[in-house]
Structure 1
Amino acid sequence: MTGVASHAVLLAGVVLLAAQLCGCTAYVGRGDGFSVELIHRDHSVKSPFHDPSLTPHDRMLAAARRSTGRAAALARSYAATAGTGSPGGGVAEVISIPPFDFLMYINIGLPPTRMLAFADTGSDLLWVKCSSDGTADHPEAARRAPPRVVFNPSKSSTFGRVDCHSGTCHAFTGTGVSCDAKSNCKYVYSYSDGSETSGVLSTETLTFDDAPGGCVGCRDRPQLQVARFNLGCSTSTKGSFTGDGLVGLGDGNFSLANQLGAATSIGRRFSYCLVPSFVNTPSILNLGARAAVTEPGAATTPLLHSDVDAYLTIALESVRIGVRSLPLPRRARIVVDSGTTLTLLVKELLDPMVEELTRSIKLRRVKSPDKGIPICYDVSRVGETAFGKIVPEVKLGLRGGGVVTLKAENTFVMLREGTMCMALVEVTKGDQGMVLGSVAQQNMHIGFDLDRRTATFASVDCATSYPWPADSSL
């Protein structure tokens, strides 16, 4: 009983802190929450980064290469901070590696400015690119293609700045905060690949339009509107940021779910369902009651308190391929991250997985299109469907007893016509760097309940789970 009471007190404290940080009020069009379309940066024709001259395999290869770069950046980060016990040398507590894979629309201010921001389950701050002086365009907006939207605070009637002496400013967990001459809370967020965003911590009205496929039977698309939402008004970025901003979906106090939970009755929960890259249907992000994962066979596991507050981290209790149980690292934790395409594993776990998978696949090995993804097979004679029947399932045993099954579509990707490559790569420093990437998560409904501190996984067909209109497309 004492443990239950302590847990309840802890949750109440977290919710109270989030409420104090947000200071939000909200209008919710429907009581069951809302849904937002997730746009893949490479595959979707709705993305400004979509290159129609590339084949689907070229686009997948580009996404996979971002993952190998992410693994290298994580290795450099952990090497640089080894033995410090904390992110040293000015490296942010949030160590997601941009660029990210999925985008979502958000409406900032009144009247609203519609912006296309990256969605990131590995960080907690929502920030958008702002005019540096309230009138001039962001310096990078004029230099880099494709053209982007820059938010102008002077044109919004609801824009406010966070005072540097406030509790909200002191609660910020990025690289650091400081005061400017007008007592505004200035922030810096650094990332492990050297990318950085900085600006003024602000408050603004956010408006979300319900996705076309999210509300069954609705005559009008409802909206959710939140006033005094804490966000970063970024006046300077460097490195890999190419969108209008970033929506932090992680586990920190400034995340979208935590602030919406404090401002509304929908709770601190969200879920998403990622369609395979070759399917011409959007992916979806759900918040509120729609985030409940109730499909048959759903596996629930506790969310762990991570070394990085924003990370959505779970524990592996076992990994099985066929009848063989594979050895686990000493602290088998893995971050669930939609922003990384491939799955990153430490050598201790990756090597036996590769050995068991390759032992079962009796096809000719071929040279990979990318040296960072070394294991590839010629499937031109058998086809992708037959190949999927050859590859054994990988069973991930989670703390709490649940099991997540990775099929061939979760462990292999086609990087060239007739060439299937293993979507598992090595992260070379520390088991805390293991990441379950978006390929491993596709065709799963994955939900996070930050009040109950749980993550839930269910195998579904994401393309048919939501009734998108006939004209919806990637």
Structure 2
Amino acid sequence: MAIPISISRCLFFLLFIATIPSSSSLRIRPSTNSHDTPIASKPRKLAIKLIHRDSILSPYYNPNASPLELTRNAIEASVARARYYNKRIMARRSGAYVINEDAGAPLVPDFLGLAFLANITIGEPASEQLVMVDTASTLLWIQCTPCLTCQRQIPLLFEPLKSSTYSNIPCTPPGTAACTDVGGKCDPTNGCLFRLSYFDRTEVSGNLASEKLVFGTSDDGKVTITIKVFGCAHENRALTSDNQQSGILGLGYDNISLTEQLGGKFSICLGDIHDPNYPHNKLSTLLTLLIFGEGAVFEGDVTPIVSTQDGFYYVTLDGISVGEEKLNIDPNVFKLSSSGQGGTILDTGTTMMTMNRGGYDPLQNKVQSILNGSLQRTDFSIEGIPMLCYNGEVDRDLSSFPAVSLHLAGGADIVLDTHSMFRQVNGVALCMAVAPADNVEGMTIIGAFAQQSYNVGYDIAAGKVYVQRIDCELLES
């Protein structure tokens, strides 16, 4: 197998910036050769256990971090991601989206903004790698040897030369199309290459290859699937070395994404992400949160996927209710425009919800009308954005606060209780866990806080999202 000789380090927040074929071109499916465990007609739960970034199982866990520090980090990261998404859309509209001819997709902001990690097992012999999970990225990539100046990571670097199941995507005739069809660039010496470019001028590059990936199953077993495309990264120009993970697991939709390779179906169940000891972070086979393929959990109410533009999962937000009162909001403020701006996406990679101003202002006004008579306002701002905050405690002072319902098209609702709607920032202050978008055309992002206590199933081929409020532990009962 050809592996580049000139290599350096590896960055941890993904994004290509070149042409990738549309999902309508090449449809990659899992291999079903005799050496693989096929995805049978009977649903198999191909599961990867998620680790919240602030949980006790995370290498980033800081037992001394204050609620204020955690909240500030969550808000800063969420606002930064929202700003990045809007810039990414603007860049695409202006034609600046494609900047080179190597494999690429849109750029991802600071990895600190990503909410979840996962341990994956790849290769033969098996190599465990820790990756960030990002619904705004598409490629699965990890650091590989040889890599002279890779960033620090907790697992050992993946060694493709020692894996009997690793194979570079070919570039010699008649295999050239195999590389270009997945957005790679053929190099006569080094094979099918990819390069990820970032707005901050950092880059990561390496080989596109195929490899075996091992999944856990709900019956405590294992199943091995051949992944036809993943990135084996050998070179990186990173701005920071304070990283622990091996790479990125992209859940965005594209023909090279793991999501598409495993049948265009997956589901995620999120528990109480405020609690670092919540069981969904423990290595129990009964609490698998990220499930791929036919075994994904599709239950509850259904709302249509209106677009997968840029790999995002756009849905239609029809309105918002606080208690029994539906707010006076023009539903068009949440819709994706013909120019590709605005819209509403589901994104577990963004921690807090950010909302188009046309919806945020009426929601903020309603919350103020309920709380102003009983709690005292307190000033709190992040990145120049004033947050709606009060002196008080969520459990003590908001026990009677009405539920906030996000009404999705088709009759599906995501209902925010007080722990999804508010965040305790310190011992004496709480803030609404929704931040305004920067402008009236801004995207609305339904993030991880809003999706707590929900299983969300994505059937992309059918154009449907299933939403079910449930304790994640009950999914396997």
TM-score of the aligned structures, taking structure 2 as reference length: 0.79
1:86-165 aligned within 5 A = 87-89=97-99, 93-99=105-111, 100-131=114-145, 133=146, 137-141=147-151, 144=152, 147-164=154-171
Superposition pairs of residues 208-357 of structure 1, within 5 angstroms: 208-210=215-217, 215=218, 218=219, 221-237=220-236, 238-239=238-239, 242-261=244-263, 268-279=264-275, 280=277, 281-282=279-280, 284-294=289-299, 298-308=300-310, 310-321=311-322, 322-328=325-331, 329=333, 331-332=335-336, 333-357=343-367
Pairing partner for 2:81 from 70, 74, 84: 70
Equivalent pair of 1:318/1:396 in contact (CA under 8 Å):
yes
- More divergent stretch after superposition (92-101 vs 451-460): 92-101
Amino acid at match of 2:52: H
Q: Which deviations, in whole Å up to 9, do the C-alpha atoms of 1:197-236 show, x marking residues without a partner? A: 32111111111234xxxx3xx4xx2112012531001112
> Quick check: 92-101 or 245-254, which moved more?
92-101
Stretch of structure 1 that moved more, 245-254 or 63-72: 63-72
The 2-side partners of 1:209 and 1:315 are apart by: 33
CA distances 1:372-408 after superposition (whole Å, capped 9, x unpaired): 553243454xx32244445443322222232322232
The Cα of 1:94 is off from its aligned counterpart by 2.8
Task: Name the structure 2 match of 1:472.
Answer: none
Shift of 1:125: 0.9
- Corresponding residue number in structure 1 for 2:11: none
Aligned-pair CA distance for 1:409:
2.1
Change in CA separation of 1:201 and 1:405 when aligned onto 2, cut-off 3 Å = same
Cα distance, 1:242 vs. partner?
A: 4.9
Residue 75 of structure 1 and its aligned partner are, at CA, apart by: 4.3
Q: How many residues align?
A: 422
Distance 1:318 1:293, change over 3 A: same
Checking the alignment, whether the CA contact within 8 Å between 1:65 and 1:372 is kept in structure 2 is: no
Match of 2:404 among 383, 394, 418: 394
Alignment-mate amino acid for residue 448 of structure 1:
Y
Taking the aligned partners of 1:415 and 1:203, their CA distance within structure 2 comes to 45
Q: Could you say what secondary structure the match of 1:286 adopts? A: strand
Whether contact under 8 Å (1:194, 1:239) holds in the other structure is: no
SS in 2 for 1:251: coil
Task: State the 1:430 CA deviation.
Answer: 7.2
Is the CA contact 1:40–1:103 (under 8 Å) kept in the aligned structure 2? yes
* Deviation digits for residues 40-84 of structure 1 (CA, Å, limit 9, x no counterpart): 11x222111112222355334323321122233334444555533
**Distance change >3 Å, CA 301–CA 168, structure 1 → 2:** farther
Tell me if the contact between 1:40 and 1:47 (Cα under 8 Å) persists in the aligned partners.
yes
Distance 1:75 1:311, change over 3 A: closer
User: 1:466: Cα distance to partner?
Assistant: 5.3
Deviation at 1:124, TM superposition (A): 1.8
The amino acid of 2:221's aligned partner reads P
Change (3 A) 1:249 1:80: closer
Specify the alignment match of 2:186 in structure 1: 179
Aligned AA for 2:229? N
Amino acid at match of 2:119: Y
Structure 1 regions of 5+ residues with no counterpart? Answer: 1-12, 262-267, 469-474
SS in 2 for 1:54: coil
Preserved contact between residue 394 and residue 419 of structure 2 (Cα < 8 Å): no
1:305 is displaced (CA, Å) by: 2.4
Q: Cα gap change, 1:77/1:127 in structure 2, threshold over 3 Å: closer, same or farther? A: same
CA contact (8 A) 1:108 1:114 kept: yes
Residue in structure 2 matching 1:52, options 58, 63, 68? 63
Q: Tell me, what secondary structure is at the counterpart of 2:94?
A: coil
Structure 2: gaps (5+ residues):
1-21, 282-288, 337-342
- In the aligned structure 2, how far is the partner of 1:417 from the partner of 1:28? 52
Deviation at 1:113, TM superposition (A): 0.7
Deviations 1:416-444 (A, max 9, x none): 22321122223335747332111111111
